Structure formats: C-alpha cells, structure tokens
A = this chain, B = another copy of it.
Amino acid sequence: MDTKIVIVGAGYAGILTAKKLANRFRKNKGVSITIIDKNPFHTMLTELHEVAAGRVDESGIRISLKRVFAGRDVDVRQDLVTEIDFEKRTVIGSNERYEYDYLVLCAGSKPTYFGVSGAEEHAYTLWSYEDAILLKDRIPDMFRKAAGELDEEEKKRLLTFHVVGAGFTGVEMAGELAEYVPVLCDRYEIERELVSISVIDVLDRTVPTLPPKLSAKVERRLKKMGVRVLLNTRVVSIGEDFIEFGNGEDTTHERTGTVIWAAGIEAADITEKAAEDLEAAGRGRIKVDQYLRSVKDERVYVIGDNMHYIPPGEEHPVPQVVENCEHSAATAAHNIVCAVTGKGEMKVYKPSFHGIMVSLGGRYGVAHVGFPNRKFSLPSFLAMFVKHFINMVYFVQLLGWNKIFSYMKKEFFTIRHCRSFVGGHLSNRTPSFLLMPLRVWLGAVWVFEGIKKILEGWFVSPKLEGFFNGANQWYNNILNGTGGTADGASGATPAAADAESAAT
C-alpha cells in the first residue's frame, strides 16, 4: 500500500523537508511526496529588500521549483490550498484535491497590521516576490514623477519614504533605500536634500533581537546614511498621501509618497484556518509536540514559521527565522521517515541558533553570531561575509554546488551601481565589445599556431608523445616512490647494468 506525504508550502522549510524525504525514500517506490505552492518558484524572502531597491536583479531571489527538484521523485504542484480536511486526510486546493497519510504544514506568514487604519490599503509590504517587484517599480517611479513635478511641496512629498517597523525587514529596507537614493538622485537630476527616509517603531531600539550595543550601531549607521530614526513612536493611521504617528501625547501628520509596512507578521491564511481545527497559539500558529507533530493530530507535522513550540527550559517559542525553518525541516523529515518505516527513533526538536545578521545596504552589516551560550559581534565586513556564507550553505542543501557560482555572480559580481560588498571593480561589468581586440588577437595567435603545427606535421605523426610520456612518468614516479629517488633509481639502473657488463 502506498504512503502519501503532502507538503503545503515551498518556502525554506517545505523545500528542505521535501528534499530530505526524497533522499531517504529514493529507493522506496511505495512512498510518494507531493509539494504544493501557489507559485512555480521559491522566493528567498530574506533578500527581498535587495530587489526592492534595485540592487539585485529579480531573478536573483527566485528559484524555479522545477530546477530544485530536477531528477528527484517529488511531485511539484502549482495550486492554492484553500482548506484542509483533517478527518478525511485531504488537502483541498483551488484546482485539485490531494489525499495524504502524512501532512507537513509550512505555509509561511503574511504581514499583520495591528489594526492600524489605512495600513492594508495604502502601505507597501515587503513579504513576497510580488511585493519586492512592486517596490522595485514604485521607488524609481517616485523619482521620475518628482523630476517632472513643478510644485515644490508635491515634489518633496513624492520623495518622502516612511518605513514602519525597525526590525530586520524595516532596517534592511531603509538601509538599502538610503544607498539607492544617490543613484536615483543622479539619474533624475534631483537634489539629495529633497529626499527623506524615516524609520518608525513603537519600541525603543532597532532590531530588538540584537544586543543593545549592536542596536545602537545600526541606529548610528542609519542616521549616517541620512535616515531619520523615530523610536518610541506609534503609527496611528496611513492614508493615500499621508501618515500619522505619535509618541503618546502629540500626533504628527506628515505628507508622504510611499509607506513601506515592515512591522510584523502572522501565519498565512491557510494555517490560521487549520489552527481552528488543531490547537492555535500566538498569531495563528499551531501548537506542536516535541516531535513537531500537531498536538491534536499526529499525522500533521507543522514546521517553520507556522509552528508554535516552546523548548523545555525556555520561556519563548522558537523564533520565526530561517534557521528555525532549516532545523525543523531536518527533524520533521527524520521523524516522518521513522513513522512511515516504523524503524529508528523519533528525534526531539532541539533548535540551536547561530545568531542573526542585519545588512544595511550592500556594503555594511552587523552580526551577532556564535553558539547558543556564547555569541559575539562581528565587524561589518565579516558580518557581510557570514551572511553570504549562510546563504551559500543553504543553496548547497537546496540546489547543490552548482547554484553557488550563480549566487556569487548575482550577489557579488553583477550588482548594479557597484553596490557590492566586495567593492566596485568586481561588481562592475565590461561591455564585451571592449574585449574584441583581445579576442581577435587571441584568435589570430591560435590560428597562426595551428597552421604552424599542421605544417610541422601534426596531422601525420603524433606530436603529444613527449607530453603524455612526461605525464606517464610522473604517475609512475608517484606510484613507485618519491620523485627524487625514483629518478635516481631509473638513472642508476643503466649505470649498474653498464658496471655489470664492464665487470663481465
């Protein structure tokens, strides 16, 4: 009898689970693995700000699911899951129905607006591929409109950006934007003074998951980049062309061109709906046991952003970060294999996080990394290095070593406006026509050398004998002993023979 495993969501957690399961069940034809996502691609959510601010091409954060699962026995379905029937063990998509024996739920998150009036209608978010694309078009659009605007007040309004939320997403977006602004000012002949970027948060420091010292560093850097940082400030409402915020007593009404909402997330719709049948906890997440199974239905594994789990001895549930997706995927995959095969022992989920990294633009970052009990801060260059290193480790798991080169190319070497942390030269691109003389010269030399070799008789007698013989000898030397003594020995043999013949 067949066992059907269905994974809902092809985010960080979903993809890794599917890959691990496919590896373990490679030779077991009785197990089928299906992964369902509404997009035909996986999005690297942590890099959205890079696309939104025009630094990295959009193809850099989109990974084709076909490519991820090429050559693997995973059925990729493009569908939108609208309901899950836990009684009948059926996932209901808008196109199809999928029966399952084991379900992995990792549908990810969506922005939450905390009831701020007008936020959902008027603010831009940064939580999906679509969001990044909208902002990528919106930001230069504002500069373009401002360039053609005759009214000075309106021009300033168009050039005003408010980022709500000073967590990861907020500060990374603001930093990226601040770095983009000079490029845009130059392109559209606009003075830098007319542009204003603000970051607003209700808390008293930026990225509260960092230690206070690093939060202060982030704040200083943002200010240095020309970003106004408003802390202890609550956003009251957002309109088509304004934002209202206050610090308790006073409320400020400011005209604005673009509000980017980066203030918080909650579970995706389908997870919230599923949580009604299972056990919900904290903003639509689902409570799981130590093996990452729903506490209500042990055939349902909930991982990544969708899980709510407080490890023994801890106070807070595991955070909604990429590292949690990676670790929970590994544990869930292992436990599903145990459940399906009946062999081995289930693992208890013991996440161990190695820290967080925040990048402000393409050339500056702060990091607080290490092991659970011992973390340290890294200087900017190393922080950026670690950030990219972690992405690369992720890629190896996802796509194999091949992807590394294309990631490096996209993140380091083809960055626009030289905004790469490895510096201007390496991220620049040379029009190939400038290399024409070099290529023509190399080609000419190649043809000339070729003709010479043909005239020397390369078509009629083997000419690489010496070369391959040299290689043969080199291998023999290695096989027969060290190079030096082998040489001595081979040299000595005829001499000894000579001596022998002389003696006779």
Contacts and interface: CB of A to CB of B under 8 A. Distances in A.
Interface in A95-151: 95, 129-130, 133, 137, 141, 144, 147-148, 150
Contacts of A231: none
Interface stretch (A259-267, A424-432, A480-488): A424-432
Contact of A137 (B39, B66, B137, B438): B137
Given A64-B189, A150-B80, A426 B435 contact: no
Contacts of A41: 147, 189
A161 interface: no
Nearest to A128: B148
Given A430-B429, A433-B413, A40 B189 contact: yes
A150 B36 CA distance: 12
A476 interface: no
- What bracket does the count of chain A residues touching chain B fall in? 35 or more
Contact of A94 (B150, B429, B432): B150
Contacts of A326: none
A206 to B, nearest CB: 32
A40 B426 contact: no
A153 to B, nearest CB: 13
Contacts of A436: 426
Interface in A63-97: 64, 66, 78-80, 94-95
Contacts of A95: 150
Count of identical protomers in the assembly: 2
Contacts of A431: 409, 413-414, 428-430
A18 B144 CA distance: 25
Given A137-B137, A432-B429, A432-B430, A148 B40 contact: yes
A41 B187 CA distance: 11
A41 B425 CA distance: 30
A66 B147 CA distance: 13
Interface string A30-41: 000000001111
A129 B141 CA distance: 12
A469 interface: no
A40 B187 CA distance: 12
Interface in A1-51: 38-41
8 contacts: A40-B147, A40-B189, A59-B187, A133-B144, A425-B433, A427-B433, A429-B430, A430-B435
Interface of A: 38-41, 59, 64, 66, 78-80, 94-95, 129-130, 133, 137, 141, 144, 147-148, 150, 187, 189, 409, 412-414, 425-433, 435-436, 438
Given A130-B148, A429-B430, 7 more contacts: A40-B147, A95-B150, A129-B144, A130-B144, A413-B431, A427-B433, A430-B431
